Structure 1
Amino acid sequence: MKNGYAALALFGLSILSTGLLAQGDHTSFNWKFEEGNKLMEEKLYNQSAEIWKELLDTDPENANLNYKVGYSLFHSYNQKAKALPFLEKASQMRSASNGYGSFNTAGYDPFDAKERNAPPEVDYYLGRAYHLNNQFDKADQMYQKFLDQVDTKHALRENAKRGIEQTANARELQAAPLDYQVSNAGPVINNDHPDFSPVLSVDGNALFYTSRRIRPDSSNASVIDPIAGIPYENIYVSYKDREGNWQQPEMLNINPAGAGHLASVNVAADGQTLFIYRDDGGDGNIYESKLVGEIWS
C-alpha cells in the first residue's frame, strides 16, 4: 500500500505541477494582453506594437492579435507603413459568418484575451493603409466593405465616406500632374530631428516651421515625448538675407511650461499674426500669436 500511496502522491504532484505551469503560461499571456491594451489607451503605440508582436509570435493565426499589431503600427509616430500586412491578414481572417469569435456571441471584446477575431473597424484601417500607400481601388473596396457592415451612427462612418471622396480627388490630381521641382531647403533649415509643417510669409522672406530638435541650450534634451521618444514640437523661424539665403533659425519662445506640443499652422498676410497649434495636455487647440516689435506674444 505504501508504494501505491507513493505512486498516487507522485501522480498528483505531477498533475499539480503541470497545472501550475499551464496556469503560469496562461497568466503571462493575459498579463501581456492587458499591458498591450493599457499602452494603446495611453497612445504609446510603438510600445504596444512590440507586446502584440510577442503574443502574435505564439499565435500567428489570431486575427485579433494581427489587428492589434496593425492598429498600433498605423497609429504610431514612425511605423505606419508596417501596418499593412498585419491589417490585411486580420481582415482576411475575420469571421464571415457573424463577425465575432465563436465564444463571444455578444460582440467583439477588445479587452478579452480569449478574443481571436478582429472587429469590423479592421476594414476601415486597412482602407486607410491602402489609401496612404496609393492603392486607391483597394482602399475604396475596404471603405465600402466597412460601410456595409456598420450602422449609420458608427463613429468612423463619416471618415470612411470622406476617404472615398479623397481617393476620387487623388485620381483626378494624378491624372493631371503638375510640372514642379522639389529640393531640400538645406542643412541650415533641416536638422537630424523631424522638421515639418512649413509656413511661408506672403513676401517669401520668412519661413515658420515645426521642429522636434534639441534646442541650442539643450534645455529640452531630457523633456521627451513618451509616445515618440524625441523632444516635443516647437516652432522655429528663419529669415532670408539680402542674397536670398536662409539664416540660422530661431525658436519662438511662446511655449509655456507643460504645454506639450507647439506647431505652426499658418501666418496672416501681413506677417504679424501667426496661427499655432498647442497641445494643452492632450486637448489640442488653435491659438494666434501677435508680433509686437520683435517679440511674438
Structure 2
Amino acid sequence: MTTYYDFLSMYKYLLALLLLSAPATLLAQDVEFSKDRFGNDKDGLKAALKEIKLGDESYDLDPPRYEQALPHYLAAQKFNPNNAQLNFKIGESYLHSGFKPRALEYLQKAYQLNPDVDPRIHYALGRGLHLNGKWDEAIAEYKRATPATGTKNTAAFTQDIQKKIRECENGRKLAAKPNRVFIDNAGPGVNSPYPEYGPVITADESVILFTSRRPGSTGDQKDPETGGFMEDIYTSTRTTKGSWVDARNLGEGVNTEGHDATVGLSPDGQRLLVYMEDNGGDLHEANLRGAEWRKPQKLGSRINTRSHESSAAYTPDGRSLYFVTDKEGGLGQRDIYKVEMEGRGPAQNLGSVINTQYGEEGVFLHPDGKTMYFSSEGHNSMGGYDIFKSVYENGKWSQPENLGWPINTPDDDVFFVISASGRHGYYSSFRDDGLGSKDIYQITFLGPEKPPVLSQEDQLLASRVQPVKETLLAPPVAIVAAQVTILKGIVTDEASKQPIEATIDVVDNSLNQTIASFQSNEQSGRYLVSLPSGVNYGIVVRKDGYLFHSENFDLPAKAAYSEVVKDIALKKLDVGVKVVLNNIFFDFDKATLRKESTNELERLQKLLVETPALRLEISGHTDNVGKAEYNKDLSQRRAKAVVDYLVAKGIDKSRLTFAGYGDTQPVASNASKTGRQLNRRTEFKVTGK
C-alpha cells in the first residue's frame, strides 16, 4: 500500500531528476542592472553602473585594453553576478590577460544565463576550455563557432578554427604522456608582486638576469598604454643552498627611462643582449667590466632592421648570433636567423625545418653548441607558443621536438633557457603559486622513471699522451646528460694573489686553430668557458707581462656533462720560473711530436721571438712506471725534439738547452692515475732574460 509520504518522496525524487536534466538556461536567469531589480539598493546599483562604464571605456578602445577593464567589471560583478553580458566581457577580458584560464567560469556562466549573449560565445568557450586543458570539450565548441557578423575573411576564421582543433588534438596526446619534472617558483629573491619574465642564466646557474616591471624602475616611469611600470633589467646570484639573493637593478648603465629587457647572455655572463624600443625594437649588447655593466651598444644592420628584432642567443664561442625578426623575406610571421658577429655576410634563415608559417620566438642555444631551444606557434603546438628542441647534427637541424606537458601549456610558453648540465630550465609563467603576477619558475628535469645506474667517465685535465679519466657514479634518477664541460675559476697574479683580467683562448688542437677567445673579469678574475664534447681542446691563458699558462681537455664525442674548477695563477717572466706545456703531445713511447702540438709550439716560438733576451731550458718528465734509465732517456729525447723544432723555426740554439729528468722531479704522487698523469709532462724554465 502506497502512503502519502511514499508519494511525496517519489514526487520529490522525480522533481529532482527533472531539474537535473533541464537545460541550464531554465535554472539561471539573466539579471539586468535596473531599478526594477535593485530598487532596494540604489547606491549599490549606481556604483556598479559606474564601474561598468569605466570598464567599457577601456574595453571599447581600439585596440581594447582588457586588463584595465577587468577590475571595474569584477567590481560590478560582485554586485550582480548574474548578468550574461557582464560575465561575457569578464571572460573575454581574461582571455586577453595573463590569467587566461580564469575566463572559463565566466564564459560558461554567461552562456548559462543567455546562450545568445554574443555571436562569439562558442569560439570564446572553445578558448576557455582549450586553455584549461579540456581538449574534447574545446573541440566541440570550436566546431560550433561561427564568424562574427561582418567578418570579411571567413577563410581566415576557418583556418584559425582548424588550427585550434589541431592544437587540442596535440595537447590531448602530449598531456597523456606527461614529463617527469618539478616546476618550482624561483622565490622572492627574484619574483615580486609585479611581472617578472625573460630569465637568462650563466652556464653554471650562478647568476640570473631577468626583466621586471616593478616599482623603482629607472626614471620610475609608467607605460601610458598599460599603466604598468616600465621594464628594467635585474640580476641575482645563487647561494650555496640553491636560493636566489634579493635581486638588484642593473642601474642606469644599462636601464633607461624606457623599456629595457633581457634577451640573451653569454655562457660566462660577461656579455648581455638587451632589447630596446628604438627603431621599432632593436637588439643591443652590453659588456660587464668589473662589477659594472657598460652602456648597451646597438648591434649592426645585418641584425637590426626597420622591422622588429625581439630575441637572440649567442653561440658558445661567442662568434655567431641566433636571432628572431619579422623582416620581409621570411617563411612566416617571425623567423629565426643566424649571423656571424664579425663577418660581413647576411644573416641566414634557418629554413623550413625550424621556421613555420606561424611565429617563432625566444631562441636559446645550449652551451653544447648544437642544441637549440625555441618557441613556436607552429609544429605540433598545443596552443599559442610552445617550447621546442632541435639538434644540429650532420649539417642539418633535427625535426623540432615539443618539450611536452606540463612544461608547455595551452597558453604561450616563451623565453626558455636551460643550464649547461641540462638539469634545470627557467622560464616565466602565470601560476596559482605566483607571488602576484607573472613569475619566473625553475624546471627540474627528472628523466625517465627508475633508470639504470650507469657509470660515466669525466674527462678531467686531459693532457700529454692519454687523457685523465675519473669514474663517477651516476645519480639514481638520471637526466639526459648534456655533452659539454664547463671550465671555470679565477685568474690571479701568482705573486700578489690579486685577480687579473686575462685572455683565455680556446684552441682546437686537431685543427691547430683558435676557435674562441674570452676575458676573465677585470675585478674578480673569474672566467667560465663552455667546451662542447668531441674536441681536443687547448686552453691558453695569457696577459701582457706574464708567461702564458696552458691546459688540455681531450673530450670524446659522447663525454657527459662535467664542471671543472681550475684557478690559474699567471707567472711573470723571471729567472727560475717554470711553466708546464700541457698541449705538447708525443706518440706513445716515442719522442715524435704529434701535429696537435703545433699550436703550443708556435706559441712558445712567438714568446722567444718577442723576448729576444729570453733563454730557456726545455725539460721532459715521466712518472715512475718502468725503468728509471729508460724514462730518463725518453724524457731527454722528447725535450730535444722540442728544441729541434724551435731551432728549425729560426730560434738561435744558443738560447735553448734541454734535459730529461725522468721521474726524479714529480709534481704529484705517483700513487694515483691522476698524479702519474701530471708527472708526465714537458715544461720550460727561464734561465735568462
Q: TM-score range by the shorter chain?
A: 0.5 to 0.7
Superposition deviation, residue 138 in structure 1: 1.8
Structure 2: unaligned runs, 5 residues or longer? 1-45, 297-689
Superposition deviation, residue 204 in structure 1: 3.2
Instruction: Describe the SS at the equivalent of 2:143.
Output: helix
Instruction: Describe the SS at the equivalent of 1:178.
Output: coil
Cα distance change of structure 1 residues 56 and 67 upon mapping to structure 2, 3 Å threshold: farther
- AA at the equivalent of 2:106: F
After superposition, the C-alpha distances for 1:162-191 in whole angstroms (9 at most, x for unaligned) are 433333332333222222333443443334
Superposition deviation, residue 160 in structure 1: 4.0
Instruction: Describe the SS at the equivalent of 1:208.
Output: strand
Q: Report if aligned partners of 1:143, 1:164 keep a CA contact under 8 Å in 2.
A: yes
Instruction: Describe the SS at the equivalent of 2:210.
Output: strand
Instruction: Describe the SS at the equivalent of 1:209.
Output: strand
Cα distance change of structure 1 residues 139 and 284 upon mapping to structure 2, 3 Å threshold: farther
Take 2:72 and 2:185, find their aligned partners in 1: how far apart are those partners? 37
2:86 counterpart residue number: 65
Which deviates more, 49-58 or 139-148?
A: 49-58
After superposition, the C-alpha distances for 1:124-175 in whole angstroms (9 at most, x for unaligned) are 3322222222212222222333267777447765554443333333233322
Cα distance change of structure 1 residues 163 and 138 upon mapping to structure 2, 3 Å threshold: same
Take 1:177 and 1:68, find their aligned partners in 2: how far apart are those partners? 34
Superposition deviation, residue 233 in structure 1: 3.1
Take 1:58 and 1:199, find their aligned partners in 2: how far apart are those partners? 45
1:98 counterpart residue number: none
The 5 Å alignment of 1:258-277 reads 259=258, 261-267=259-265, 274-277=272-275
Take 1:171 and 1:91, find their aligned partners in 2: how far apart are those partners? 25
The 5 Å alignment of 1:157-172 reads 159-172=160-173
Take 1:231 and 1:67, find their aligned partners in 2: how far apart are those partners? 29
- Identify which of 231, 242, 248 aligns with 1:233: 231
What's the RMSD between the two structures over aligned residues? 4.5
Q: Report if aligned partners of 2:218, 2:256 keep a CA contact under 8 Å in 1.
A: no
Superposition deviation, residue 66 in structure 1: 2.7
Q: Report if aligned partners of 1:127, 1:138 keep a CA contact under 8 Å in 2.
A: yes
The 5 Å alignment of 1:116-265 reads 117-120=117-120, 122-146=121-145, 152-153=153-154, 159-215=160-216, 223-224=221-222, 231-240=229-238, 246=244, 248-252=246-250, 253=252, 254-257=254-257, 259=258, 261-265=259-263
Give 1 or 2: higher helix fraction. 1
After superposition, the C-alpha distances for 1:31-80 in whole angstroms (9 at most, x for unaligned) are 87654332122755355235445379569354x33321211233345x54
Take 1:154 and 1:65, find their aligned partners in 2: how far apart are those partners? 30
Instruction: Describe the SS at the equivalent of 1:181.
Output: strand
1:111 counterpart residue number: none
Cα distance change of structure 1 residues 277 and 160 upon mapping to structure 2, 3 Å threshold: farther
Identity %: 29
2:340 counterpart residue number: none
Give 1 or 2: higher strand fraction. 2
Take 2:137 and 2:282, find their aligned partners in 1: how far apart are those partners? 35
Cα distance change of structure 1 residues 49 and 185 upon mapping to structure 2, 3 Å threshold: closer
- AA at the equivalent of 1:201: T
Q: Report if aligned partners of 1:147, 1:160 keep a CA contact under 8 Å in 2.
A: no
- AA at the equivalent of 2:232: N
After superposition, the C-alpha distances for 1:261-285 in whole angstroms (9 at most, x for unaligned) are 44334445675654445567xx973
2:56 counterpart residue number: 37
Take 2:105 and 2:129, find their aligned partners in 1: how far apart are those partners? 10
Cα distance change of structure 1 residues 192 and 56 upon mapping to structure 2, 3 Å threshold: closer
1:288 counterpart residue number: 284
Cα distance change of structure 1 residues 244 and 32 upon mapping to structure 2, 3 Å threshold: closer
TM-score of the two chains, using structure 1 as the length reference: 0.60
Cα distance change of structure 1 residues 55 and 206 upon mapping to structure 2, 3 Å threshold: closer
Cα distance change of structure 1 residues 162 and 255 upon mapping to structure 2, 3 Å threshold: farther
2:106 counterpart residue number: 86
TM-score of the two chains, using structure 2 as the length reference: 0.29
Instruction: Describe the SS at the equivalent of 2:197.
Output: strand
Instruction: Describe the SS at the equivalent of 2:145.
Output: helix
Superposition deviation, residue 118 in structure 1: 0.8
- AA at the equivalent of 1:251: N
Superposition deviation, residue 208 in structure 1: 1.9
Cα distance change of structure 1 residues 192 and 140 upon mapping to structure 2, 3 Å threshold: same
Take 2:281 and 2:161, find their aligned partners in 1: how far apart are those partners? 25
Instruction: Describe the SS at the equivalent of 2:180.
Output: coil
Take 1:191 and 1:51, find their aligned partners in 2: how far apart are those partners? 24
Take 2:263 and 2:127, find their aligned partners in 1: how far apart are those partners? 24
Cα distance change of structure 1 residues 205 and 157 upon mapping to structure 2, 3 Å threshold: farther
- AA at the equivalent of 1:119: P
Q: Report if aligned partners of 1:43, 1:227 keep a CA contact under 8 Å in 2.
A: no
Q: Report if aligned partners of 2:68, 2:226 keep a CA contact under 8 Å in 1.
A: no
Instruction: Describe the SS at the equivalent of 2:229.
Output: coil
Take 2:241 and 2:77, find their aligned partners in 1: how far apart are those partners? 58
Take 2:81 and 2:184, find their aligned partners in 1: how far apart are those partners? 46
Q: Report if aligned partners of 1:201, 1:269 keep a CA contact under 8 Å in 2.
A: yes
2:310 counterpart residue number: none
Structure 1: unaligned runs, 5 residues or longer? 1-26, 96-116
- AA at the equivalent of 1:118: D
Number of corresponding residues: 244
1:19 counterpart residue number: none
- AA at the equivalent of 2:124: Y
Which deviates more, 184-193 or 270-279?
A: 270-279
Cα distance change of structure 1 residues 209 and 48 upon mapping to structure 2, 3 Å threshold: same
Cα distance change of structure 1 residues 267 and 131 upon mapping to structure 2, 3 Å threshold: farther
Rg (Cα) greater in structure = 2
